[in-house]
Amino acid sequence: MKPQRIDAIDLVRGALMILIVGAHATLVIEPGHTTLLHATRYLLSGTVGFTTVSGILVGWFAVVKRDRYERVTRRYLVQAARLLLIAHPLMSIALFIPNDAPLTDYALRTLFITDTLALLFIVVVPIIPTIKPRVRLVAGILIIAIDAVLDLYEAPGPATRLVRELLCGVDPLQQHVLLSDYGVLPLGGMFLIGSVIGGWFAETDAETFVRRATKLAAWMVGLGAAMVALWRVAHLTHHPELARFLYPDYETTLYPAYLAGTLVMFTIALRMRPLELVALLGRTSLFVYVAQYFLVETGPTLLGWKGALPPIGWLIVWFGSTAMLVPAASAWSRWRARVRASS
C-alpha cells in the first residue's frame, strides 16, 4: 500500500531529520578529515529541505483545508510560540552546557532555524491563501535573489549590521552582532516556493505530481550546475564580486540542487511502502530536532569526543543517536496523544 499524502510528507520530514542528525554529529570527526567534513556537511544539509517541506505542508493545508484555514493559522501561531518559548531555550542550554561561551551568546545572540520558521509561521502563514501561487513563486525567487545581492553589502555600523544579519544571516568573514542565525529572506523565499509546491501536491494525483516533480528536479540540477560553473569561471577570471555572489551555498548556487533533492525525496516517498519509524520522526520533528542537540552536540562534547573520533566513530554517533531518538519520539507521541484525549 502506498502512503497517503500526509504520510509522504511525514516520511520526507523524517528522512530530513536523519540527515540533520548526521550533519550535526560531524563535530566528533577528527580535524584531519577535511574533505569528509566538507562533503558530509554539504550532502547532509537539511536547511533547504526542512524549510521547503514546512512551506509544502502549509501550501497543502491552504488547498485541502481552505474552508477552515483560520484553524490552521491558529495552530501555526501556537507552534510558533512553542518554537520561541520552549525550543529556543532548550537548544540554547544544549549548546551552553558543554561550551565555554556565555549562555547569553546562545540565548540572545543565536537564532536557530526554528526561530526563523516561527517568524514565518506568524507573518506568512496567515496570508498564504490570499496570494496566488504564481505570485508566491515569483516572490520567493525574487526574495532569494535580493538576499544574494544584499550579501555583498558590508554594513557600516552595529545597527545596520544587525538588520542585515536578521535579513540575510551572519557572514563569519565580516564583523557580526549575532553569533549565528538563519536569515529571514532566504528561508522566507524557500518557504514561499515550498507553499506553491504544496499546492501542486494537493491538487494533482500522485502520478502527475511525481512526473512534474521529476521534471522540475532535472531542471533544478541543470540550473545549479550552470550556476556553479559560472561561479568557477568568475573565480578563475578574477571577478571577485560575481564569484562572491555565486559562491556555492544553500542560499544561492546550491539552492536548486537542494530543492531538486527534496523533490526526489517526495517522488520516492510516494512510490514506496510506508516506513513507520521514519514517519514517526517526521511527525515529531520538533521534539526530534531539539532532542538531537543533546545527543549529538551536548553528550559527545561532555564525553570529550568533539573532534576526536575517526569517521567510523561519527557513523556510530549518528546512527546510535538516531536509534535512541526513535523510542523517545514514540514515547513523546503517545504522551501528546494522551494529553489531547484528556483535554
Grid cell at residue 122: 506568524
Site of grid cell 539552492: 255
Entry pTM: 0.93
Give the pLDDT of residue 339: 83
CA 278, 284, 289, 291 torsion: positive or negative?
A: negative
Q: How far, in Å, CA of 201 to CA of 56, rounded?
A: 8
Beta-carbon contacts of 338 under 8 Å, excluding residues fewer than 6 positions away, are none
The residue count of the chain comes to 343
> At 252, phi and psi to the nearest 5?
-130, -100
Angle at 247 between CA 23 and CA 119, to 5 degrees: 60
For residues 222, 225, 230, 233, the Cα torsion angle rounded to the nearest 10 degrees is: -140
Beta-carbon contacts of 291 under 8 Å, excluding residues fewer than 6 positions away, are 325, 328, 329
- If the chain, 343 residues long, is cut into consecutive pieces of 10 residues, what is the mean pLDDT of each piece? 71 95 94 86 90 96 94 96 96 88 87 96 97 96 93 85 92 84 96 96 90 95 95 91 87 93 93 85 94 95 93 96 96 90 77
Q: How far is CA 180 from the centre of its chain?
A: 15
Q: Where are the domains of the chain?
A: 20-45+275-337, 48-203, 208-274
Nearest CA to 124 out of 181, 190, 68 is that of 190
